Amino acid sequence: MDYQTITYELNDGMAVITMNRADKYNALTTQMRAEIEHAFTRGGRDARVVVITGAGKAFCSGQDLGDRATGASIDLERMLRDEYAPMLRAITNCPVPTIAAVNGAAAGAGANLALATDVVFATQSAYFLQAFTKIGLIPDAGGTYTLPRQMGMAKAMGAALFADKISARQADEWGMIWEAVEDDRFNDHWRAKAAHLAAGPTAAYASVKEVIRDSWNNTLEEQLTLEAKEQGKCGKTRDFKEGVLAFTEKRAASFEGR
């Protein structure tokens, strides 16, 4: 695919997807959703960690209501089913760790795109906004799924109903994101964290993602069975043997990934 609304860079096992419509605060269009879906699928094959961030001052301002490709009358059900859902599945089903580096405002579907990744870093000046009720809608792009799981029911309900800005610091304190980082060290910080994951045990990371997500639907007995199964798989990898050897030799492990 020839990317027109994003850029894709791959270096040292790290794929960085940058939403590249800075003049529109990286608002999502039909074209951008397709490109993000493609890029995450590509990154899942080619990289050991995938990062998504935004160009300019914003991370993503949500749906571009002026997107001509949606037509004069937007069929929201079709758009969510046929465009948003495949993009979000590509993010959540990505077999390697995914990171959102939220460099500025993340509003509406842009906020929920970020929350679909495994780990969210945000500048302390950034904010998250479930803006939907301001225009008579409900949170979408997976927001009704991720928000109560990450924030708890009370905070999720308030965020959805009041549509107030949630600062990155608040999001950090509430458990909505992993970390709010000082603006002046943000880029270096998330890149260092992404590099750490890119050098890590990729197979184990894939299992971590699976067992933690499945825990929401499993009983304790089912989860214990799943843990044992996935741990058994990890225990047969070269990475496990290397990790133990490195520990006994008091050196950094050299994981091969996939």
Domain count of the chain? 2
The CATH code of the domain that includes 235 is 1.10.12
| Statement to judge: residues 30 and 137 lie in one domain | yes
Instruction: Express each pLDDT in 161-192 by its tens digit.
Output: 999 999 999 999 999 999 999 999 999 999 99
For residue 258, what pLDDT is reported? 59
Q: What's the pLDDT at 20?
A: 97
Full domain range(s) for residue 240: 202-248
What is the C-alpha to C-alpha distance for residues 38 and 83, in angstroms, rounded to an integer? 12
Q: Is residue 258 part of a domain?
A: no
Per-residue model confidence as pLDDT tens digits over 82-141 = 999 999 999 999 999 999 999 999 999 999 999 999 999 999 999 999 999 999 999 999
* Mean pLDDT of all residues in 237-241: 92
Which tens digit of pLDDT belongs to each residue from 28-85?
999 999 999 999 999 999 999 999 999 999 999 999 988 766 555 678 999 999 999 9
- pTM of structure: 0.93
Q: How confident is the model at residue 256 (pLDDT cuts 50, 70, 90)?
A: confident
Tell me the C-alpha distance between 141 and 115, whole Å.
10
Same domain, 157 and 233: no
Looking at the domain assignment, is residue 256 inside a domain? no
254 domain-assigned? no
What is the 3-class SS of the chain, one letter each residue?
CCCCCEEEEEECCEEEEEECCHHHCCCECHHHHHHHHHHHHHHHHHCCEEEEEECCCCCECCECCCCHHHCCCCCHHHHHHHHHHHHHHHHHCCCCCEEEEECCCEECHHHHHHHCCCEEEEECCCEEECHHHHHCCCCCCCHHHHHHHHHCHHHHHHHHHHCCEEEHHHHHHHCCCCEEECHHHHHHHHHHHHHHHHCCCHHHHHHHHHHHHHCCCCCHHHHHHHHHHHHHHHCCCHHHHHHHHHHHCCCCCCCCCC
